[in-house]
Amino acid sequence: MNTQRRRGFTLIELLVVIAIIAVLIALLLPAVQSAREAARRIHCVNNLKQLGLGVMNYESANSALPPQQTMVIVGNAQPTSYTSWGVSARLAPYMEMGPMYNAMNFSLKYSDGPNTTVSYLQVKALLCPSEPNTQPYDAAKPFGVSNYGWSVGDWYVFGGGGAPPNRSAFHVNTSRSLSAFTDGLSNSLLAAEVKARQPLYKSCATPASLSPTSFPVDNATSAALITQSYTNGCKADAGHVKWSIGSACYDGFTTALTPNYKVTVGNPGVDIDFDTNDENNGGPTYAAVTSRSYHPGGVNTLFGDGSVRFIKSSVGSTTWRALGTIGGGEVISSDSF
């Protein structure tokens, strides 16, 4: 009886097949990751477009943009009262979040018991899908985090009662009309991406070199000021961990430093944001709250005309500062950002 010997794969053949599969996976994996990042970036752009629609709907209903936050200030004294609610909170009824808005009591602080029903919520429209740190910073007080900051200044944010306003779209106790954007809505930033749970040194003593009209004009000088001042009465904290508060470090950003620019302090080194006396304490507030993202090469930004544009991290500091002002009169080339 003749039997045929069944032929199997040799070890070498198996190894060749495995090697081919490994090469294919190595070739495909970057493409898959790139496709996923592209999808996340599109989602992030859509979030900013929704915020832009919310701002324009607010402006249509109120003939002005929302204030950064409101407080009662008599003369040049510190605020006698404040509730801290910021721009993101005020947009809720204009972004199909009416029930959430109705649950906010604007006569009480964001942190008062009745308001934590809302301020503890994580709002999906304020989260970029690339953000890995979406959990509350403080488990005992689980305020929702945010990935989008409103434009609240260059270095100068708020000077206190009687002080001049900042040069950006949003300011304390100020609801700016669109006619105030004399630089043009298409040349003025409203919002930009930020990272949640960003290491922060806040409530620092104000360096003598800072004033509403005098501050560093470039990244290197700004970084040097921060590294010299971050231990001067500062409190270590995390930024953008409370979307409901209108303070620059929680619901805003400044154009003091260009997108994704790192200021590393300490050992081991930590990339930080920095601000001086908080707005709720009456200022003066100077801040380097940098726009950051997890998207390679830059950040998504929202402009006054409702457009969303990707600004490269390599943008010049002069151009970035100019985009952050609404009436600075700067001439900005269309190919400079």
**Token representation of residue 13:** 């053949």
Residue 106 included in any domain: yes
14 or 274, greater pLDDT: 274
Residue 4 included in any domain: no
**Token representation of residue 315:** 């943008």
Residue 29 included in any domain: no
Residue 229 included in any domain: yes
pTM: 0.89
Q: What share of the chain has pLDDT > 70, as a percent?
A: 95
Q: How does pLDDT run across 204-249, given as a tens digit for each residue?
A: 999 999 999 999 999 999 999 999 999 999 999 999 999 999 999 9
Residue 305 included in any domain: yes
> What's the pLDDT score for residue 3?
52
Residue 197 included in any domain: yes
Q: How does pLDDT run across 69-91, given as a tens digit for each residue?
A: 999 887 777 788 888 999 999 99
Helix ranges (H only) for the chain are 11-62, 87-90, 98-102, 116-119, 219-229, 248-251, 317-324
- What are the distances in angstroms from CA 19 to CA 9, 14, 15, 25, 26? 15, 9, 6, 10, 10
Residue 126 included in any domain: yes
Sheet holding 285-288, edge to edge: 156-158, 285-288, 273-276, 198-204, 235-239
Name the residue range of residue 281's domain. Answer: 40-324
Query: For residue 157, which of 59, 252, 292, 84 has the smallest C-alpha distance?
Result: 252
Residue 337 included in any domain: no
What is the tally of structural domains in the chain? 1
